[in-house]
Chains A and B, each alone.
Chain A
C-alpha cells in the first residue's frame, strides 16, 4: 500500500495476484503427536481389554476388589474389579476384568479357584499368598462353549486339565481313609493323586477318580490291579499276621497303590477313563485273575469253628479261592444238622490259558477228579489263632463218593477235618486196646513171679555152699600175706638206718668232700703264685721287698 502511494495511479498496470501463504505452522505437529499418543493409549486400553467375567464363590475370603489378580502359571491374566453378594446372600459374585485373548480358553469347562495358604493331604501350598494376598487361579480349557459366568471351586483341583497323564475310575465299596489329593503309588513311588469321588447311583459302589501323571500312566494296563493302601493294613488270617503299608505318607493320609500281574506285559495299555476295581488289600488285588469263578457247596458233619468268611481255599498250598458263606443244613429224613460251606474257586487256573470249556466238559473233568479221590477238607491254618482253611487234595484211599450236581450249587464231597480224623484214629486205638487180654496177662505175670521166687531161693543155697567151702582157705592165705609184709617192713627200716641223714656213712662222706675242697683251694693259690713269680721255683719264696 505504501508503494501505491509512491507510484502514481495507473490503471493500465495490473495488480498482482496475491497468493495467500499456506499458513501451516510447525507448531501443529505437537498436538498431532499428543493426539497420536493419546489415541494409541486409548486404543490400547479399549482393545486390549478382554472380556469381563463373573465367578461365583461361596465366600470372598482374601479377595479384594481392584487388587486381587487372576493368574495362570503365576502370570497375571486378569484382575478382580468388584465383589458383591448375590440376591439371596448365598454366594459371592466376583466380577473380573480379563486380559485380551483370554476368551479362547474361557470356556464352560474352565475352572477358577482361590489360592490361599493350605495344609492338605500332607502338603502345604500357597505359602506365597500369606504375604501377597490370595489370588484367583484358573485352569484354562480350550475346547468347549465360550462362557462368561463361572462357578468357582472351593478347593483347588488336584489335576489341571492340560497336565499330561491319564484319568481312571476305580470302583470301590468303601472309601477307606482316601480323600481328594490322596497319593497313588506305583512301586512305592507317588505317581498320581485322587481327583475326587462320588457315590454311584445305585448307592452300592463309589467311583473314585484318579489321575496318574505322565509318563507313569502307561504302566496302567487293561488288567492292572489297584488296591487301597490306606493306613496300616493289619490282617490276621490263616496265613498269620500281615502288616502292609506303602509309605509313611499313606500311613497317615491314605493312598492307592497299583501293580500289574506277572503275565501282563503284553496287555494293552489302558485308555483314559477306564474303569477298574479297587481291591481292599494288596493280597486281594494280586490274586490270580479269574474269568469265571465256580461255586461249590461243602457239607461237613463236624465243627467248623475257626472257619471264617473269606478264609482261603487251597490246593496243596496254592490259593485257589475263598469261603463265601457258612450255613447250617437240616436234613429232614436223617434228622441231622449239617454245616454247609459255600466256596468259590478258580480251579481252572491250573489248565492251560487257552482252554475253553463249557459246563459239560467241566462236569466230566471234575467227575474224574473226584473219582480219583479229590476231596475238600478243613485244615487248621494257624495253630495259634485256630483259623481253619479249606484244603483240596486227592485222597485215593477214601471211600468213593460223587459230586452231587443237583441243586443250585454242586456239592463237592468232603472228608472230616484233620482234627476229627485224629480223634477217629485215637478211638480206633482205644478200641484195639480194649481187646488186649489183660487178665490172662496178669495170671501169666503171677506165674513168672512165682518162678522168680523159686530161683532166688536156689541162689541162696548156692551162696551158703560157697561160704562154707571157700572162706577158711581164704583166711589162711591172708595170714601168710600179712607176715610177708611185716618182713618187708623190717628190711626197709634197715636200709633207712644205713643211708639216713644222721648215719655214720653220711657224716664221713661229707667230711671227705670238705677236705677235697680245701685241697683244691690251696692248689689254686699255688698256681696263682707261680704264675706271678715263676722264679720262685728256683729261688724259693724269698723276702718281701
Chain B
C-alpha cells in the first residue's frame, strides 16, 4: 500500500489521508470512529475459496432433494426447484416467484458475480465491466434471503414431524452450510482491495 489515497468518512465526511494500511487492520474515522476501510487479511484468496465452496454447495442444494416426507407408505421427496414448481402448480405463483428469486436466483447471481470478479484478479487480470458488476452485487445482496427461507423450512419441518416422518435430504445440509459460507464470503470480500488491484 504505497499509494496515498484520500478518503472521506461515510458518516461525518471528514477527509482522511491514508498512506498504507497493514493487512488485517482497520482504519477508523478520527472524529466519529466509523469504519473507513479495513484491509482484510488475504482477502482475495479467502473470498475466492469461500465463493467456490458456495458455488459447489449451491449446486448440491439445488440438485438433491431437500426433504422427504413419508406417511403411510406415501413417499414424497422434493428439491428446491420442485418446491417452487409445486407452489406454482397450486396457484401460489407470487410466493413461487418470491422463493425462486430470493432463495435461488439472487444468491446464485451473487455467487457467480463475485467469482466473475475474483477469478481474473487472482490471475492478475482486470475483469470487464467491473464497476457495473460491483454495483450489481451491491444491489442484489439485500434480496438474497436464503437464511429466511431456511428458517421457514425448519419451522415447518418441526411442525410436520408430529404427523409424518421427515427425512432430511443432502440438499438440506448443504443449504445450511451454504448460508454460512455465503455470509463468510461476503464478509471476506474486500472491494477496496479489488478496486485497488484492478
Contacts and interface: CB of A to CB of B under 8 A. Distances in A.
Interface string B45-73: 11001101100110110011000000011
6 contacts: A27-B45, A27-B50, A30-B49, A35-B56, A38-B59, A132-B74
Q: Which of A34, A131, A133 has the most CB of B within 10 A?
A: A34
Contacts of B73: 128, 131-133
Contact of B56 (A28, A38, A45, A69): A38
Nearest to B45: A25
A35 B174 CA distance: 12
Contacts of A540: none
Contacts of B60: 37-38, 41
A432 interface: no
A443 interface: no
Interface in A125-177: 128, 131-133
Given A38-B59, A41-B64, 8 more contacts: A25-B42, A27-B42, A28-B49, A30-B181, A31-B53, A34-B57, A41-B60, A132-B73
B46 A27 contact: yes
Interface of B: 42, 45-46, 49-50, 52-53, 56-57, 59-60, 63-64, 72-76, 170, 174, 177, 181
A96 to B, nearest CB: 15
Interface string A235-256: 0000000000000000000000
Interface of A: 23, 25, 27-28, 30-31, 33-35, 37-38, 41, 45, 67, 69, 128, 131-133
Contacts of A30: 49-50, 53, 181
Contacts of A37: 56, 60, 174
A22 to B, nearest CB: 12
A41 B57 CA distance: 11
A23 B75 contact: no
Contacts of A69: 75
Contacts of B53: 30-31, 33-34
Nearest to A74: B73
Contact of B49 (A27, A38, A131, A133): A27
B42 to A, nearest CB: 5
A38 B6 CA distance: 45
Contacts of B174: 37
A64 to B, nearest CB: 11
B38 to A, nearest CB: 17
The 9 A-B pairs of least Cβ separation, nearest first, read A132-B73, A31-B52, A31-B53, A34-B56, A34-B53, A27-B49, A25-B45, A38-B56, A27-B46
Contact of A23 (B45, B57, B177): B45
Contacts of A67: 75-76
Contacts of B49: 25, 27-28, 30-31
A274 to B, nearest CB: 42
A133 B52 contact: no
Contacts of B46: 25, 27
Contacts of A41: 60, 63-64, 170
Nearest to B178: A34
